[in-house]
Amino acid sequence: MYSLRSGARAMLLSPLRLSQLLLVPKISLSSSIPLSFPSQNTPAGHSPFSNSSLPSTSTPRRQSLVFSISSPSRGVASMADETVTYLSQKEAAEIDEILMGPLGFSVDQLMELAGLSVATAIAEVYKPSEYSRILVICGPGNNGGDGLVAARHLRHFGYEPYICYPKRTAKLLYTGLVTQLESLAIPFLSVDELPKNFSDDFDLIVDAIFGFSFHGSPRPPFDDLIQRLVSLHCIDNVHKRKPAIVSVDIPSGWHVEGGDVDGDGIKPDMLVSLTAPKLCAKNFHGPHHFLGGRFVPPAIRDKFGLKLPPYPGTSMCVRIGKPLSVDISSLRENYVSPELREDQVKADPIDQFQKWFDEAVAAGLREPNAMALSTCGKDGKPTSRIVLLKGVDKEGFVWYTNYGSRKGRDLSENPHASLLFHWNHLNRQVRVEGTVQKVSDEESEKYFHSRPRGSQLGAIVSKQSTTVAGRHVLHEAYMELERKYSDGSLIPKPEYWGGYRLRPNLLEFWQGQQSRLHDRLQYSLREINGSRVWQIERLAP
């Protein structure tokens, strides 16, 4: 990515690195594209990523800049409903020149985005419960800088990173990154301190040695480090798991366009492309290919006709390439959690639920009040769906819905149901069983008018679980109601909408543990001396 120097003797990246954070569609053009941007505070006409000159001015004003882009045809990779293009080294450099010049992106900004993208992609696949010990091997250029940033984020994500940084760069940006890592007590290992067999001490290795502008033959100590990574692919050890290898943008030792030309290069398990995959990525056949970046401004996207993949939620990475083929039977987690003991839990299950729920909220889980509601009508056929908990107290668990829905019909025929809360990131589940009855009209009315007006209108429009001719029918009905109540008048609650309360007679608290020896504590109502009390029992996992 945005490299520092080039040349056969330089063990660094080229001055053009930002293009790793950009995605370019399949186009072939040779034209002058005018771009107007405000000038930056850096010396006019100077870019730290290129030896080329840009038009300059001595005072801040708007500049009209013209860049000549000549793009050969590119290969297209498949992505879930998108196309992804592969960038040549020249194309990556041309995009970087614009981004690093008139758009005013700095090296440290882009390095932070790149490193965060790498760390996020790793966290998507390799969980700290099984891949905690990470060795990050950093080269002397910007690819190495990405590795340093990634290591910092991985530490905050709960991993135990170690750094091998043999040829340190003296520039302030890099010394600052080293200081940040040292302040987090992240160990730096010399080449001599590395174990002979990486499998002995590490679960995952990040290859952040060379980027897309490196050329020539690697020199010591990187030639030996690369060969040691290559050898991991050849080791046949039935007793030890080989460390997973994650390469940053370009697997070190590969030709940026030709790829693993000789066929004996690093075989990474994950490739995190930055900006767009480079041509060499056509030869990547590992199971995990991610794109990182998510920063491209509209001016660049529109001028170049870029087609960017949709990033999920707030993530800095998105999976690209062919959908991963997974052996479902091999999917498993080895949970690491605090023990759940009888002498630690609350005597009342509602109090224990409230404690766990508060912890789920504090952990920042998305919709911790989401619960699976299972019902069964008189036909004996169970159905489940996700609904949202809207209240809990000693009387039970409350949610709201359309009384004419499938669950409403089931509950009218069989007033027994179960709830399931699943808080994945805490390795926790809560099962609740009991009888169900409607809440009072007053409760339903109060909650209905506490909802956003749009939700109130939606509840009227939707005759839940009935057949609809098309989405346009819902939209038209909604817009009609929106016009009807545009004066802000009170929206009446429909009679067919309201709340249910499940009064529990059994709750189970499940905490995932290693080797499937999970903790299961069950609360059940028992009749003792004429009083109903909660009894706690441990169940086999």
List the one residue out of 410, 365, 339, 394 whose CA is nearest residue 507: 394
Q: So what's the pLDDT on residue 380? A: 95
Shared-domain flag, residues 412 and 523: yes
* Average pLDDT of the segment spanning 532-541: 96
For 84-101, how does the pLDDT look when each residue is reduced to its tens digit (9 = 90+)?
878 888 888 887 788 778
Whether residue 263 is predicted with pLDDT greater than 70 in this model: the reply is yes
Same domain, yes or no: 311 and 363: no
CB atoms within 10 A of CB 449: 13
More confident: 74 or 188: 188
Span 411-440, average pLDDT: 97
User: What is the C-alpha to C-alpha distance for residues 305 and 307, in angstroms, rounded to an integer?
Assistant: 6
Rounded to the nearest 10 degrees, how much is the dihedral formed by the CA atoms of 204, 208, 211, 214?
-110
pLDDT band at 324 (very low <50, low <70, confident <90, very high): low
* Mean pLDDT value of segment 468-494: 95
Which residue's structure tokens are 């300059």? 56
Give tens-digit pLDDT for 429-475: 999 999 999 999 999 999 999 999 999 999 999 999 999 999 999 99
CATH of the domain at 197: 3.40.50.10260
Domain end (from 323, 341, 358): 323
Q: Give the pLDDT confidence of 184-220 residue by residue, as tens digits.
A: 999 999 999 999 889 889 999 999 999 887 877 888 9
How far apart CA 423 and CA 365 sit, in angstroms, is 8
**Residue owning tokens 């441990």:** 538
Across 269-273, average pLDDT: 96
pLDDT tens digit sequence for 306-322: 777 888 999 999 998 77
Q: Please give the pLDDT value at position 359.
A: 97
Average pLDDT, the chain: 83
pLDDT digits (tens, 9 = 90+) for 503-536: 999 999 999 999 999 999 999 999 888 888 999 9
Residues 313 and 391 in one domain: no
In 3D, which of 48, 54, 49 has the Cα closest to residue 66? Answer: 54
Token pair belonging to 218: 């690697």
d(CA 34, CA 50): 20
212 is in an annotated binding site: yes
Bridge partners for 32 per DSSP: 68
Strand runs labelled E in 171-298: 204-208, 244-248, 270-274, 288-292
For range 367-387, the mean pLDDT? 97
Q: Does a structural domain hold residue 509?
A: yes
Q: Confirm whether residue 145 is marked as ligand binding.
A: yes
* Model pLDDT, residue 51: 32
pLDDT of residue 222 exceeding 90: yes
Give me the pLDDT at residue 99, please.
Answer: 77
Binding site annotation covers 142?
Answer: yes
In this structure, is residue 54 part of a structural domain? no
Q: Are 229 and 295 in a shared domain?
A: yes
- 249 annotated ligand-binding residue: yes
Question: How many structural domains comprise the chain?
Answer: 2
* Contact in structure between 263 and 234 (CB atoms under 8 Å): no
**Statement to judge: residues 306 and 260 lie in one domain:** yes
pLDDT score at 82: 52
Active site residues: 516
- Whether the per-residue pLDDT at 537 is higher than 80: the answer is yes
pLDDT at 235: 58
Residue 75 marked ligand-binding? no
Give the other-Cβ count within 10 Å of 130's Cβ: 14
**Residue span of the structural domain in which 112 resides:** 89-323
- Judge if 173 and 129 occupy the same domain: yes
Work out the average pLDDT over 227-255. 82
pLDDT of residue 18: 38
Does the annotation place 217 within a ligand binding site? yes
The residue type at 522: Q
Residues 360 and 312 in one domain: no
Do 369 and 287 belong together in one domain?
A: no
252 appears as a binding residue in the annotation: yes
**Do 355 and 461 belong together in one domain?**
yes
On whether 203 is known to bind a ligand per the annotation, the reply is no
Report the percentage of the chain scoring pLDDT > 70: 83
For the cut 70, the answer to whether the pLDDT of residue 384 exceeds it is yes
**133-164 tens-digit pLDDT:** 999 999 999 999 999 999 999 999 999 999 99
Residue 330 domain-assigned (yes or no): no
Residue 352 carries which side chain, given as an amino acid letter?
Answer: Q
Model pTM score: 0.59
Whether 120 and 155 map to the same domain: the answer is yes
Higher pLDDT pick, 121 / 294: 121
Taken in order 502, 500, 444, 461, the sign of the CA dihedral is positive
In a domain, 47, yes or no: no
Last residue of a domain, one of 289, 323, 357: 323
Residue type, 227: Q
In a domain, 37, yes or no: no
Q: What is the mean pLDDT of residues 49-67?
A: 33
Question: Is 49 in contact with 15 (CB distance < 8 Å)?
Answer: yes
Q: Identify whether 76 is part of a domain.
A: no
- Average pLDDT on 390-415 reads 97
Domain-located, residue 46: no
Domain check: are 312 and 364 in the same one? Answer: no
Q: Is the pLDDT of residue 428 over 50?
A: yes
Query: Do residue 306 and residue 354 come from a single domain?
Result: no
- Whether residue 34 lies inside any domain: the answer is no
Q: Is 207 annotated as a binding residue?
A: yes
CATH value at residue 363 = 2.30.110.10
